[in-house]
Amino acid sequence: MSLEVKIPPMGESITSGILAKWHVKNGDLVKKDQPLFELETDKITSEGTAEAAGQITFTIAAGTDVKIGQVVATINTAVMPPALSPAPISEIPSPVTAVTSPAVRRLAAETGLDPATIAGTGKANRVTKGDMLAASEVGRIIPNAPSAAPAPAPSPIENQKSPIENITTRQTRTKMSKLRQTIAGRLVRAQHEAAMLTTFNECDMSAVMALRAKYQDDFVKKHGVKLGFMSFFTKAVVHALKDVPAVNAQIDGDSIIQNHYYHISMAVSTEKGLMVPVIRNCDQLGMAEIEKSIAEAAKKARDGKIAMADLEGGVFTITNGGIFGSMLSTPILNSPQSAILGLHAINERPIALNGQVVIRPMMYLALSYDHRLVDGKEAVTFLVKIKQLIEDPARLAIGI
């Protein structure tokens, strides 16, 4: 019996994508639920799995544009994989690496590293993408690279290349992914369609850092997650949105839609590009719930397991370039939202305080907003509210 392998439905707004990679070879014997291919769309990246065991035959090559529901392979279920015989003890894979993420499998294929030989730091000792990258960096692994004697140094005359030298021999051309194309298009449209303006302020992080240091151990013991800065800023954003509702609105044609809920989008950097999963009803969540939700959403995005529902419905975005060392930036709006808050690196700087010069851990804050809807006074008021709440986090508890 032959079973068709089709591109699975991904949501109403997704009709096509690119079959980016096959995880198996043409003619392989596959097992039920085994990952078969990686599908890139303009919004998410996901995997297709086998609905039955058998021998697979491709009808589409990797890198091909495909439609939702299109047949990309067939599985001959009459040809079954051989029964697995007990392996010698030395060959039995460690339970630590019995389950690996798509990112780990991809790195294993690219570097030749066996995840079973790496000590995992993830949940239940699973090997993570970070573990693979660290092991690859330590070993400086270059897959299948034959050893060769060093080439003789060119003479000075040979180094004097012609100014019209063809540089294409030193370039690599790859097709832009659907996701990257869509991100690029949205960013350009956001700049063309909105009257975007950015206002800045600086924030003394001393109080939040002291609070985290004081309660971190107890927080981890009780909730099983670290108390980070993002939960403070998320709560501060919710308070500020309530005080300045114009920021929690959006333009639709000639109408203004006022939102009365607080779904906050969190920008996450992934191998495929920037993704912005949404943490819902942040006004109803505690600090621990926010931290857990952010960690889960970021992991799903980086593992390529994000779903369309995870990206929809946000009213305001927070992006943290500070984790990469950014001192200052002007973030671009996440359309159709009307504002986005950019966080930056925390650096000790001298400031004037009560007539004295003191050293404090300072962070620059940037609020980009759509000036068609949000006036300068409202934008500045919103950002000052964020500053006040972070510099005096007791305000978050008593709601002022």
Please give the pLDDT value at position 219: 96
Q: Which pLDDT does position 108 carry in this prediction?
A: 76
Q: What is the average pLDDT across 302-315?
A: 87
Cα 180 from Cα 92, distance rounded (Å): 40
d(C-alpha 71, C-alpha 36), whole Å: 13
| Closest to 303 measured CA to CA, from 100, 24, 40 | 100
The pairs formed by 104-111 with CB atoms below 8 angstroms and a separation of 24 or more are 104/128, 104/129, 104/131, 104/132, 105/23, 105/35, 106/21, 107/132, 107/133, 107/136, 108/132, 110/143, 111/136, 111/141, 111/143
In percent, how much of the chain has pLDDT > 70?
85
- State the pLDDT at residue 163: 57
* pLDDT, tens digit (0-9, with 9 covering 90-100), for 66-108: 998 999 999 999 887 765 444 444 444 444 454 577 777 777 7
Of the two residues 79 and 381, the one the predictor is more confident about is: 381
pLDDT of residue 143 exceeding 70, the answer is: no
- Which of 4-8, 163-167, 217-221 comes out lowest in average pLDDT? 163-167
Is the confidence at residue 135, as pLDDT, over 80?
no
Dihedral sign (CA 330, 335, 340, 346)? negative
Residue 142 has pLDDT above 50, yes or no: no
3-class secondary structure, 368: strand
The per-residue pLDDT for 90 is 44
CA distance 22 to 358: 58
Angle at 264 between CA 258 and CA 269, to 5 degrees: 135
Q: Is the predicted pLDDT of residue 147 greater than 80, yes or no? A: no
- In 204-260, which residue ranges form alpha helices assigned H by DSSP? 206-223, 229-243
Antiparallel, parallel or unpaired: β 316-320 and 339-353: parallel
The token pair at 392 is 């005096």
Residue 270's pLDDT band (boundaries 50, 70, 90)?
confident
Residue among 139, 340, 77, 371 nearest 251 (CA): 371
Q: Where are the beta strands (DSSP E) in the chain?
A: 2-6, 16-22, 29-30, 35-40, 45-49, 54-58, 64-67, 71-76, 196-204, 249-252, 255-258, 264-266, 268-270, 273-275, 278-279, 316-320, 339-353, 356-370
Residue 141 has pLDDT above 50, yes or no: no
Per the CB < 8 A criterion, the answer to whether 293 and 314 are in contact is no
User: Does pLDDT of 373 surpass 80?
Assistant: yes
275: pLDDT strictly greater than 50: yes
pLDDT at position 93: 45
For the purposes of burial, counting CB atoms within 10 Å of the CB of 68, is it exposed (0-12), middle (13-18) or buried (19 or more)? middle
pLDDT band for position 16 (cuts 50, 70, 90): confident
What whole-number distance in Å separates Cα of residue 240 and Cα of residue 318? Answer: 13
What string of DSSP letters covers 127-148? Answer: PPHHHHHHHHHHHT--TT----
Residues with a known catalytic role = 371, 375
* Residue 55 confidence (pLDDT): 93
pLDDT band at residue 39, thresholds of 50, 70 and 90?
A: confident
What is the rounded CA–CA span in Å between residue 130 and residue 358? 38
How many Cβ atoms sit within 10 Å of the Cβ of residue 66?
Answer: 19
Question: Mind listing the domains of the chain with CATH numbers?
Answer: 2-76 (2.40.50.100), 94-139 (4.10.320.10), 196-398 (3.30.559.10)
Q: What is the pLDDT of residue 162?
A: 56
13-17, 113-117, 133-137, 317-321, range with greatest mean pLDDT: 317-321
d(CA 46, CA 166): 39
